[in-house]
């Protein structure tokens, strides 16, 4: 009997203290687990974002680097000097907020077969289904590459409409700049002219009017993108320069 009386168990206070300590330890462990999971998930999202960004930039750079000096075909009904292809403007419309040109680089959609010249357009779209940086492409066959057509709009054109792709929805602003010496039609080029940066190159209104259009491509194009994933995220500015290796081709 004396041995049974000397045996002691846990008191209620000791049990409560043990449970409290165990709850604190489990809380710390679960908090660390949640923090680690959140960090892992954020790291994967950042890695995926960087991969998508590199893919889009690589595609844009390849298109611009493969831009060619393509002369617009002369009007078959024209005569004399008007039929001289050397006096036709190049297929390149560069403005501050959009860019249209012809490239030899491979496209995205099935309508552009490998080895076919592509007419591509890059600009900013505010449409809900295709926001951000969009690219329009179509094979250069019979359509008029000097038609005033914004790739962010779904208007019908004289030729087959381009296929529109939303490349980067997070882009909220885009600026193009052009570096080189402008060779203006019917104007002599200064012999000692130094290349400089311009806000436009071969503006559409100059091409359509038939005056003051350019006969050459810029040496390089500078692209500045402003990205913002959500309203709470900070804006990220990215800028890079793309050289153009000019190769002349006539249609």
pLDDT of residue 157: 39
What is the rounded CA–CA span in Å between residue 21 and residue 18?
5
Q: Answer whether residue 32 is part of any domain.
A: no
Q: In degrees, to the nearest 5, what angle opens at C-alpha 27 toward C-alphas 25 and 32? A: 100
Task: State pLDDT tens for residues 58-85.
Answer: 889 999 999 988 766 555 555 554 444 4
Q: Answer whether residue 74 is part of any domain.
A: yes
From residue 146, how far is each of 43, 64, 94, 190, 214 by CA, in Å? 45, 18, 12, 27, 13
Q: Answer whether residue 39 is part of any domain.
A: no
Both tokens of 48, joined, read: 């995926």
What total of structural domains would you count in the chain? Answer: 1
From residue 138, how far is each of 17, 35, 143, 150, 232 by CA, in Å? 74, 48, 9, 14, 37
Q: Answer whether residue 28 is part of any domain.
A: no
pLDDT of residue 156: 40
What is the rounded CA–CA span in Å between residue 137 and residue 169?
18
pLDDT of residue 35: 76
Task: State pLDDT tens for residues 81-131.
Answer: 444 444 456 778 899 999 999 898 888 887 777 778 888 999 998 888 888
pLDDT of residue 177: 96
Lowest mean pLDDT among 101-115, 138-152, 210-224, 233-247: 138-152
Q: Answer whether residue 136 is part of any domain.
A: yes
In the predicted structure, residue 20 carries a pLDDT above the cut 50: yes
pLDDT of residue 153: 37
What is the rounded average pLDDT of the residues 189-204? 87
185: buried, middle or exposed (CB in 10 Å: 19+, 13-18, 0-12)?
middle
Q: Answer whether residue 17 is part of any domain.
A: no
**Residue 236 belongs to what H/E stretch?**
strand 236-243
What is the rounded CA–CA span in Å between residue 241 and residue 179?
10
What is the rounded CA–CA span in Å between residue 232 and residue 229?
8
Q: Which domain holds residue 123?
A: 47-250
Do the beta carbons of residue 137 and residue 107 sit within 8 Å?
A: yes
Q: Answer whether residue 241 is part of any domain.
A: yes
pTM: 0.71
State the chain's mean pLDDT as an integer. Answer: 77
What is the rounded CA–CA span in Å between residue 31 and residue 102?
55
Q: Answer whether residue 25 is part of any domain.
A: no
Both tokens of 216, joined, read: 């050459």
């Amino acid at each position: 009997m004396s041995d049974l009386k000397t045996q002691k168990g846990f008191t209620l206070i000791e049990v409560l203290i043990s449970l409290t300590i165990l709850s604190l330890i489990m809380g710390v462990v679960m908090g660390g687990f949640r923090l680690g999971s959140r960090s892992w998930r954020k790291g994967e999202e950042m890695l995926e974002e960087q991969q998508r960004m590199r893919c889009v930039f690589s595609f844009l750079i390849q298109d611009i680097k493969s831009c060619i000096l393509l002369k617009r075909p002369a009007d078959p009904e024209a005569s004399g000097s008007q039929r001289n292809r050397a006096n036709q403007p190049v297929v390149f419309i560069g403005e501050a907020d959009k860019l249209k040109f012809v490239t030899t680089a491979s496209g995205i959609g099935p309508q552009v077969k490998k080895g076919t010249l592509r007419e591509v357009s890059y600009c900013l779209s505010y449409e809900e289904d295709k926001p951000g940086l969009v690219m329009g492409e179509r094979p250069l066959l019979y359509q008029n590459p000097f038609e005033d057509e914004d790739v962010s709009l779904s208007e019908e054109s004289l030729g087959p409409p381009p296929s529109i792709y939303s490349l980067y929805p997070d882009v909220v602003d885009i600026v193009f700049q052009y570096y080189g010496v402008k060779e203006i039609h019917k104007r002599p080029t200064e012999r000692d002219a130094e290349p400089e940066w311009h806000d436009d190159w071969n503006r559409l209104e100059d091409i359509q009017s038939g005056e003051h259009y350019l006969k050459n491509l810029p040496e390089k194009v500078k692209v500045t993108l402003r990205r913002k994933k959500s309203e709470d995220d900070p804006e990220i500015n990215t800028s890079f320069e793309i050289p153009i290796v000019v190769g002349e081709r006539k249609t």
